Structure formats: C-alpha cells, structure tokens
Amino acid sequence: MTPLDYLVIAPHPDDAELGVGGTIALLLSHGARVGVLELTDGEPTPHGSPEIRARETAASTEVLGLSWRGNLGLVNRRLEADLDSRARLAGVLRQVRPHTLLAPYWEDSHPDHVAASALVDAARFWAKLTKSDLPHEPHYPRRILYYFSIHLRIHPRPSFVLDISAHLETKMRALACYHSQLIAGRPQTPPTLLDDVRDRARYWGWAIGVAHGEPLLCREDIGLRGLNDLL
C-alpha cells in the first residue's frame, strides 16, 4: 500500500478523535495520508457492542475522510505491551510505513492507555529489525508524538500546540458518531462530555492565541526549517 505520512495509534475506538481529531482533519486538509489503528474494539462497555462500535467507527472515519483505518484485535481491558502484541503492531508498522506515529501519553489511570503507550514505543523499535520473522520490509518511523486522551486530571506540558480552529467542528462531528460512549448514559445537562472536549480545545487555543488548539508532546527535540509558521 502507499505509505502513510501519519499513523495515530489508539487503545480504543474514539481515543484518536478525542486526542487529535482536529489534528487529523488539519493534516488531511494539507494533503497528508493519515491512518488510525485501534489496538482493541473497546468492548464490553455499558451501552456498546462490537457491532455498535464498528458502525460508530465507520461513521467517524467517513466524517474525517481517513486514508486508512485498522484494528489490531487485541483484548480490551487486558491490553499488555507483551512480545506477541509488539510483534503484531510492528508488523502493521512495516506494512503501512508511517513517517510519524501519534501515540497515547504514557501517564494515565486507564491501564490500557499506559500499556498502549509502552507498546508503541517498543513496536517502533522492533519494526526496523532485520533478520526477524516479522512480515514486510523493515521500517522505522522517524518520531513519535504523544497526544492527550487521558482520564487523570493532570496538566502535562506539551512540546507544541497545533491550531485546529478551522477543523474543530469536524472533530466534534466525528466524536458525535460515538453515541454509545460519549453521549448515551452520560449527563445531558451542560457541561456535557462533548462540552468539556470543546472547552479544552478552547483553552489550548487560548494558550497560543487562536480559537482552538490540540497539544502534542515529543520526548525528542523538534527541528524547524524556519520561523514562518510560528504563531
């Protein structure tokens, strides 16, 4: 397949949209090839089912216009950064060959999110190995950017914030597709969960002097070719 420019790896359906739905829409608007890989189907949940979650994910994929989407088929609630999972994820990285990975931030109260972050780190390294039994040719994504789709009420300091002002409504439409997770059974009196998402985007936008933003963090230094795009 044609290599992806960016691959967002998410523990469950909706995590990619929650953390970087605006970033995905922004990158796609610039002509980038962007994919999402869920590690699990996210089930069981109180108001969902595998069939419901699949329909919701397909609807969100259409709203965003993703270049590719897949599911690794690991077990929800039991996600581990073990050797088998590492090999399976590394095989997908060698197949879709992304330039940049977007992964969950490594600190959270949800064990699946913590495991997913560690799994991405390890699989990225394994994907470049030669003389292995992994499928496809070796590939090493150039960098990992970490996004915030977290349950803890913490305030990690991002490396940078992207201006998603022109794409916030696309993000919100994509999130609304996940009715079983983000709307059903939740308080309908404002502020709702979706209100909280919009408010956080407004906060990060305020932080950089625009309407709405999404924060990203990189463990490594970020290089710039110029200063023209700084806000």
Q: Give the separation between CA 36 and CA 27, rounded to whole angstroms.
A: 13
Q: How does pLDDT run across 158-194, given as a tens digit for each residue? A: 999 999 999 999 999 999 999 999 999 999 999 999 9
Q: Which of 32, 231, 39 is nearest to 149 (CA)?
A: 39
Compute the mean pLDDT over every residue in the chain, rounded to the nearest whole number.
97
Please tell me whether the peptide bond between 191 and the residue prior to it is cis, using omega within 30 degrees of 0. yes
Q: What's residue 1's pLDDT? A: 81
The torsion angles phi and psi of 39, rounded to 5 degrees, stand at -85, -30
Q: What's residue 195's pLDDT? A: 98
Where does the pLDDT of residue 144 fall: very low under 50, low under 70, confident under 90, or very high at 90 and above? very high
Tell me what the mean pLDDT of segment 90-94 comes to. 98
Q: What's residue 141's pLDDT? A: 98
Q: Which of 31, 37, 33 is nearest to 57 (CA)?
A: 37
Q: Are the beta carbons of 39 and 79 closer than 8 angstroms?
A: yes
Q: How does pLDDT run across 61-70, given as a tens digit for each residue? A: 999 999 999 9
Where does the pLDDT of residue 226 fall: very low under 50, low under 70, confident under 90, or very high at 90 and above? very high
Q: What's residue 28's pLDDT? A: 98
Q: What's residue 229's pLDDT? A: 87
Residue 115 structure tokens:
């495991």
What the chain holds in terms of domains, given with CATH numbers, is 6-217 (3.40.50.10320)
Q: Based on C-alpha coordinates, what's the Rg of the chain?
A: 17
Q: What's residue 224's pLDDT? A: 92
Q: Are the beta carbons of 87 and 134 closer than 8 angstroms?
A: yes
Q: Are the beta carbons of 72 and 112 closer than 8 angstroms?
A: no
The torsion angles phi and psi of 9, rounded to 5 degrees, stand at -105, 125
Tell me what the mean pLDDT of segment 44-71 comes to. 98
Could you tell me which residues are beta bridge partners of residue 160?
216
The torsion angles phi and psi of 227, rounded to 5 degrees, stand at -110, 5
